[in-house]
Each structure stands twice: as C-alpha cells, then as structure tokens.
Amino acid sequence: MKRILVVGSSNVDIVVRTKMLPAPGETVHGLSVEKNPGGKGANQAVAAGKLGGSVVFLSSIGNDGDEQILLDMFGQAGLNTDFIHRADMQTGTAYILVDEKGRNSIVAVPGANDDCSVEYLKSNRNAFEESDIILISLEIPQESAEYAIRLGAELKKTIILNPAPAPDSFEESLYPCIDYITPNETELGKMSGMSISSDEEIVKAAEKLLGKGVRNVIVTLGGRGAMLVSPEDHRLFTPPDIAVVDTTAAGDTFNGAVCVYLAEGRSIEEAIAFANNASTISVSRKGAQTSIPTRKEVDEFASKGGRF
Ligand code: RIB
C-alpha cells in the first residue's frame, strides 16, 4: 500500500450546541459544551488512519496541556507522529457552534499552527520523500502550504489540495502542481472568481481551475455528495441518505478517505464513492475526529447499501 503524508493544522475544538446559531448581536441559549480533538489537518490524518491508511502527519501542536487530547487520538488512529512539532505556544483552538440541524459556525484561532513553518517542513524533507500521496490543507501559514505543494510536486508525488479555509489569493504557478483539488462550493467560488448557483456553474468554475493546470477537481457538495470534474468528463456522486447530527469534519473525512482508496490503488471514482460513505457516517455523529468511522464501519455500511 502507498504511504500518505498529511500536512496541516491541529486544533482543540470547543463545541457549543444550540438550537439556533445566533445572528450578529444576538444571545442564544446553549445546550452543552465539549472539548474535542479537531483541526482540518488532524481530522484528515485521523480519517486516513482510522480508514486503514499508512499515515505520517506533519503539524504543530502547543504545550498548554490541550495537545494531549490530540496526541491520544493520533495514537488511537495509528498515525506516525514522530515528526510533529511541539511549539512553546497555545494549541490551536476552534470555537464551534452547532445548531439542531447539524450546521456549524467556526472561529479558529491558529496558536501553535502558526509555527507550522517552511523551516519545519524543510527539516522534514524525508517525510515528503518517503510518501506517495500528500494531502495538504490551508489552516497553516499559506507560505508553508505552498512550500509543501511545490516540494511534493518536485518529488513527483500525488498532490491533493483541500483549499480550506478558502484562500484570499492563490499563486497561479501552483495550480499545475496539483493532481486533485477538493473545494466545497464556497471555496470553488472564491478560487475561480465565479458565482455558483447551479451544477452547470459548478462545472464551469471547476473547468476554470482545470484551465489553470489542475488535473482533477472534486467539488464537495454537502448532503448532495461530490462532483468530479476532469478534462474528459464530469460526474455527480450522490451519497446515501442519513439523519444529520453534526456536519463538522465531513469534508475532512472525505479527503482522508479519498487518500486511503487511492493509496490502495483504486480508481478516483471508487475513492469518491468510498469517501461519500465515510463522510455520510461522520455527519450522523457528534464532533470532528470523534465522528470519523473505522474502515470496518464503512465497509459494513457499504455492504448494507449505505444503511445502518
Ligand atoms: O473542518 C473542521 C475543523 O475546522 C474543525 O475540527 C475545527 O478545528 C476547524 O478547524
């Protein structure tokens, strides 16, 4: 099996459940508060690990005690954490409000993620050299993410970019380095500079990224699944129906799952179908990493036609 390298953030998520998300200036009643392991990069690495991948994770965590929640989960998911950076800072923290429909609002304070520097990545060049598939997200300094994309491409690795959170600008020369880019609709709109309100517009915006040199675009569409747009074709992959509890980390689970199936030598179409099942299960549960299913759970779910 091919080896996966994940480069990205680690956060501790402070999750408040509420009936309705507050409007600006409004105070609402909260139902509960929890502290969970999260962060886009960490969620993706844990997803790839729980789903059976061989995963090295490059990330920066703090030393305020909160990092232990993350390290415990990394251990359970079987990640190689030998190269994780320990910064003398506060661990990244995300404040997440989740409403009764499972929708969320997130404010992420980077903390130690700001120390996921180019120098740190340079000093772990061997982790890049020894991997086959590299998954990168943007909740770390942008110059570090850009460095990881360039180094991975120079080493002829398969590069998957999850452009989340949506960047304000993106270096044009990086597009040809990317094998798969996995924006949601908002991120696709921002990166393409186009407004998107239909499937036709999704395809047009994705084709704009293909025109810049990306080899494949996979647009994640929440409950509608994902759209694969390649130079040859475009195809919508619909997920099974499920009662939504919490959508946090659904996209991260999707990205980790795609990497695992590609690492096993499966086609991108098979990888998207697998990832749809994994992220569908994740939205039926609370939390970020706590909601991510194991490989056994996804395989059983698939064998029952996407039903529990
Ligand atoms: O993608 C979900 C993640 O975004 C959360 O776990 C939170 O940490 C934020 O970074």
Confidence of residue 306 (pLDDT cuts 50, 70, 90): confident
CA of 232 to the centre of ligand 1 (A): 33
Q: What is the average per-residue pLDDT within 125-137? A: 98
> Is residue 230 classed as helix, strand or coil in its secondary structure?
coil
Mean pLDDT of the chain: 97
pLDDT attached to residue 218 = 98
Other CB atoms within a 10 A radius of the CB of residue 84 amount to 22
Average pLDDT over residues 75-85: 98
Instruction: Say how many Å lie between the CA of residue 95 and the centre of ligand 1.
Output: 9
Confidence of residue 307 (pLDDT cuts 50, 70, 90): confident
Cβ(11) to ligand 1 under 6 A?
Answer: yes
Q: Is the CB of 94 under 6 A from ligand 1?
A: yes
Q: What is the pTM of this model?
A: 0.97
Pick from 12, 14, 16, 40 the residue to mutate for probing ligand 1's pocket: most ligand atoms within 8 Å of its CB: 40
Pocket test for ligand 1, best of 6, 13, 69 (most atoms within 8 A of CB): 13
In tens, the pLDDT along 139-169 reads 999 999 999 999 999 999 999 999 999 999 9
Distances (CA, A) of 1 to 52, 155, 159, 254, 273: 10, 19, 17, 19, 19
Q: Compute the distance from residue 231 Cα to the ligand 1 centre, in Å.
A: 31
Q: Would you tell me how many other CB atoms lie within 10 Å of the CB of residue 302?
A: 16
What's the whole-number mean pLDDT along residues 170-179? 97
Any catalytic annotation for residue 199? no
Structure tokens at 162: 């999850």
Contact predicate 148/131, CB 8 Å: no
Tell the burial category of 96 from Cβ atoms under 10 Å away from its Cβ (0-12, 13-18, 19+).
Answer: buried
In the predicted structure, residue 25 carries a pLDDT above the cut 80:
yes
pLDDT computed for residue 43 by the predictor: 98
Superfamily of domain 3-303: Ribokinase (3.40.1190.20)
- The tens digit of pLDDT for each residue in 237-288 reads 999 999 999 999 999 999 999 999 999 999 999 999 999 999 999 999 999 9
> What pLDDT is attached to residue 308?
74
What's the DSSP call for residue 184? B
- In contact, 244 and 284? CB cutoff 8 Å: yes
Return the percentage of the chain with pLDDT > 70, whole number: 100
What residue owns the CA closest to ligand 1's atom 10?
39
Evaluate: CB of 115 within 6 angstroms of ligand 1.
Answer: no
Model pLDDT, residue 219: 98
